[in-house]
Amino acid sequence: MPPSSMKPAVPLWLALVVAGACRSPDPLERALELERSGAVVPAEEAFREAIATRPADLEVRRRYAAFLAATGRPDPAARELEEALRRSPSDVPTLLLAADLDREAKRFARAADRVQRARQTAPRDPRPLVAQGRLDLARGAPDRAIAAWREALRLDPGHAEAYRRLGTQRLAAKDPAGAAADFRRAVALDPEDAVSLSGLADAALAVGDRVEAIDAVRRLTGVRPEDAATFRRLADLLLAEREWEGSMRAYWQARAIDPTLPGVDQGIFHATEGLSRQQEGEANARRPQSPPPVRVR
């Protein structure tokens, strides 16, 4: 039977709305809170309110553009960024966000122009170099991308994304030990970066460190508490280590989130069987042993 505490979660956005937690007086803060909670329509309304009340605020337009891009609307996002750049042509965060949209649309020449403008505007800022690396990788030049990220880290040794990008490339290049080192640095700088935690788990498994892999995935469940696949991943790792109770709890949590997720019921069966054998063995170990028979000569 599943633990009684595992109940389907109320959507975070609904809980926030019901509790009134999204009624910040600042429409941008309200929009960001709603976006984080997954309430797309109310978030968009709040973003539009923020733009109406603060039309010259570049951050508002950038945030709205990022929201539009994240919800699958790159063209309106690009229009918002063009308006922001019309107001401030050298704003580095806006240039880089626009460059990312151009890169994803394979408008590489325009993306390169925007990144170059950002680098000229802020030559000591690592962010344009990280963006340059993303662009180089998209254009099929991983060595140049790695060089850009290393240069970014020379400027700022605390740039988590640069470490994450390097770790991803090292893992793809069959260097799991190096990848694990980069991912550890990324996680130390940004403990809630899901991509770095997942990459660290993959790299740790590749070098045979199942303890670190399990720890990374366990931390990942805290970052992705509503992701059934992450709980199943943890359960599979624990099952392989014969941690029956822990694996069963993780499988049941995955099932509570998504009852249709493949492999979960089979995992519960194996964990239950393993736990039964373990308990039987423990009971036998506690049972008093009969004395050996006395041999009469």
**What pTM was estimated for this model as a whole?**
0.82
Whether residue 206 lies inside any domain: the answer is no
| 223 within a domain of the structure (yes/no) | no
Tell me which residue range forms the domain holding 68. 16-89
Cα gap 231→220, rounded to integer Å: 9
Task: Using the 3D structure, point to which of 72, 89, 106 is the last residue of a domain.
Answer: 89
Predicted local confidence at residue 292, as pLDDT = 63
Predicted confidence (pLDDT) per residue in 199-246, tens digit: 999 999 999 999 999 999 999 999 999 999 999 999 999 999 999 999
DSSP code of 6? -
Q: Indicate which CATH number applies to the domain containing 50.
A: 1.25.40.10
Asked whether residue 141 is assigned to any structural domain, the reply reads: no
End-of-domain residue from the set 89, 108, 129: 89
Query: What span, in angstroms and rounded, lies between the C-alpha atoms of 282 and 286?
Result: 6
Task: Select from 34, 61, 89 the last residue of a domain.
Answer: 89
Q: Is residue 296 assigned to a domain?
A: no
Quick count: other Cβ atoms within 10 Å of Cβ 29?
13
User: Which pLDDT score, from 0 to 100, does residue 18 have?
Assistant: 42
DSSP state of 4: T
For residue 254, tell me if it sits in a domain: yes
How many domains is the chain partitioned into structurally? 2
**What integer pLDDT is reported at residue 77 of this predicted model?**
97
Which residue spans within the chain are E strands per DSSP? none
Burial of 49 (0-12, 13-18, 19+ CB in 10 A): middle
Task: Identify the segments of the chain with pLDDT beneath 70.
Answer: 1-24, 282, 284-287, 289-297
Q: What is the pLDDT of residues 159-210, one digit of tens each?
A: 999 999 999 999 999 999 999 999 999 999 999 999 999 999 999 999 999 9
Write down the pLDDT at residue 115: 98
260-268 contacts: CB < 8 A, separation 24 or more?
261/228, 261/229, 261/232, 263/232, 263/236, 264/228, 264/232, 264/235, 267/232, 267/235, 267/236, 267/239
Amino acid in the structure at residue 75: D
| 34 domain residue, yes or no | yes
Alpha-carbon distance 205 to 221, whole Å? Answer: 17
